[in-house]
Amino acid sequence: MGGESRVKSQESRVKSLKSEMPEQPVIDMRRLHRFFGSTRAVNDISFEVMKGEVFGYIGPNGAGKTTSMRILATLDIPTYGDALVDGFSVINDPDRVRRRLGFMPDYFGTYADVNCREYLDFFARAYGLRGNERRRALAHVMGFTKLDGLAEKPIRGLSKGMKQRLCLGRSMIHDPSVLILDEPAAGLDPRARIELRQMIRELADNGKTILVSSHILTELAEMCDRVGIIERGELLAVGTVAEIQRGQITHCQIKARVLENVAAVATWLENRGDVESIRVDGQLIRFSHVGESDAQAALLREMILAEFAIAEFGIEQRSLEDVFMHVTRGVVQ
């Protein structure tokens, strides 16, 4: 009895220690490089993505997004550095990585004469699913992607949106912990994009870790927890939109609505050293202000003491598009 008690006590201590350990990243890019001759397609990329997180990967064409995603999916080998999925290296343990990862490329081949069920069943078998396990996987994926009503429909008859759902289903048929989605919303109509975004968020809420690239920045801003901005193979910024804005943009955009004497207010602002880029549009005055929240409060107080009729005063929130345009330089390689 004493020995059994000690074993239970040891197991309890191990569980306690595990619970106190910091959470490990599910995706871990470690100084990743990929060169093609003199072209540095990926140049010293490092970032982490945690469990249940949607990470947006954005950059212009040729920035290195697809190359680094292909390396993560074990479809290419880095020149230097490494990438880990669930702690397994894409270089040393590619088979273990593939079992834990689903990849949805920006373009995927289909077999026009097979139907949706046959297509997904083929990939379920390729991943080694058998019997009841395969049937449950097919039922779950077709239900989640809402393809169950189109199970017998040939792929050649599917719309672009339904084909994207089919590719998403293919990537998740083996229940991976990580999904890599390269431009999943490309060419979709507004309704299909909204539904895809909802599915991605639901997958993340269920514990999937998702790395997604897109040129539709408004979509990423609405579904991503954090983003990474890449250009010419280099990672320029990582974090939430607010964090990147604080780190990269020192000026706040202020919007004030003035009830009267708008020109006088604009002239008063022009004479200040902490105000730039004044634009007047009817009763609205927009300008760039240097300073934190306390400085903005002081500015508003001074405007009121100057007896200007201020009806509205506040910061105009920058979008992901604004941040992207500020951080990137618009150069290609």
Tens digit of each residue's pLDDT (9 = 90 or more) over 43-101: 999 999 999 999 999 888 888 999 999 999 999 999 999 999 999 999 999 999 999 99
Please indicate, yes or no, whether residues 172 and 312 belong to a single structural domain of this protein: no
Q: Which two tokens stand for residue 117?
A: 């069920």
**What per-residue confidence (pLDDT) applies to 292?**
78
Residue 325 has pLDDT above 90, yes or no: no
Cα–Cα separations (whole angstroms), residue 79 to 32, 82, 92, 138, 254: 8, 9, 14, 38, 46
Of the candidates 149, 145, 117, 164, the one whose C-alpha atom is nearest the C-alpha of residue 203 is: 145
The pLDDT confidence band at residue 331, using thresholds 50, 70 and 90, is low
Whether residue 18 lies inside any domain: the answer is: no
**Burial readout 234-269 (b: 16 or more C-beta within 10 A, e: otherwise):** ebbbbbebeebbeeeeeebbbebebeeebeebbeeb
- Mean pLDDT over each residue of the chain, to the nearest integer: 87
Percentage above 70 pLDDT, the chain: 86
Which residues have a Cβ under 8 Å from the Cβ of 14 and sit 6 or more positions away?
none
Whether residue 4 lies inside any domain: the answer is: no
Please list the residues that pair with 254 across neighbouring strands.
287, 315
Q: Which two tokens stand for residue 293?
A: 């929240």
Task: Decide: 236 and 328 in contact? Cβ < 8 Å.
Answer: yes
Please indicate, yes or no, whether residues 50 and 81 belong to a single structural domain of this protein: yes
In order, the DSSP letters of 266-296 are HHHHHT-TTEEEEEEETTEEEEEEES-HHHH
Please indicate, yes or no, whether residues 166 and 274 belong to a single structural domain of this protein: no
pLDDT digits over 193-233, tens only?
889 999 999 999 999 999 999 877 877 777 899 999 898 89
Of the candidates 217, 188, 192, 169, the one whose C-alpha atom is nearest the C-alpha of residue 324 is: 217
Whether residue 331 lies inside any domain: the answer is: no
**What per-residue confidence (pLDDT) applies to 17?**
45
Which residues have a Cβ under 8 Å from the Cβ of 63 and sit 6 or more positions away?
230, 231, 232, 233
Residue 251 has pLDDT above 70, yes or no: no
Whether residue 257 lies inside any domain: the answer is: yes
Please indicate, yes or no, whether residues 54 and 152 belong to a single structural domain of this protein: yes
Q: Which domain range does residue 269 map to? A: 250-317
Give the Cα separation of 45 and 79 in Å (integer). 12
Please indicate, yes or no, whether residues 136 and 268 belong to a single structural domain of this protein: no
Please indicate, yes or no, whether residues 192 and 256 belong to a single structural domain of this protein: no
Give the Cα separation of 121 and 174 in Å (integer). 11
Whether residue 71 lies inside any domain: the answer is: yes
Please indicate, yes or no, whether residues 308 and 262 belong to a single structural domain of this protein: yes
Please indicate, yes or no, whether residues 153 and 214 belong to a single structural domain of this protein: yes
Residue with more model confidence, 313 or 18:
313
Task: Decide: 323 and 236 in contact? Cβ < 8 Å.
Answer: no
**Domain count within the chain:** 2
| Burial of residue 206, with CB atoms counted within 10 A of its CB: 0-12 exposed, 13-18 middle, 19 or more buried | exposed
Mean pLDDT of 140-165: 92
DSSP state of 319: P
Please indicate, yes or no, whether residues 78 and 202 belong to a single structural domain of this protein: yes
Last residue of a domain, one of 213, 239, 265: 239
Of the candidates 303, 304, 305, the one whose C-alpha atom is nearest the C-alpha of residue 289 is: 303
**What per-residue confidence (pLDDT) applies to 111?**
79
Mean pLDDT of 174-199: 91
CATH code, domain with 295: 3.30.70.100
Residue 249 has pLDDT above 70, yes or no: no
E strands, the chain, where? 27-36, 39-49, 54-58, 80-85, 88-89, 101-104, 178-182, 209-213, 226-231, 234-239, 251-258, 275-281, 284-290, 310-315
Task: Decide: 70 and 57 in contact? Cβ < 8 Å.
Answer: no
pLDDT digits over 17-26, tens only?
445 556 899 9
DSSP state of 88: E
Please indicate, yes or no, whether residues 271 and 227 belong to a single structural domain of this protein: no
Whether residue 146 lies inside any domain: the answer is: yes
Whether residue 79 lies inside any domain: the answer is: yes
**What per-residue confidence (pLDDT) applies to 317?**
64
Last residue of a domain, one of 214, 239, 264: 239
Mean pLDDT of 127-150: 95
Secondary structure tally for the chain: helices H, strands E: 12, 14
How much of the chain is in helix, strand and coil states, percent to nearest 5?
Answer: 40, 25, 30
Residue 8 has pLDDT above 80, yes or no: no
Residue with more model confidence, 79 or 332:
79
Please indicate, yes or no, whether residues 254 and 126 belong to a single structural domain of this protein: no
CATH code, domain with 169: 3.40.50.300
Please indicate, yes or no, whether residues 209 and 294 belong to a single structural domain of this protein: no
Whether residue 267 lies inside any domain: the answer is: yes
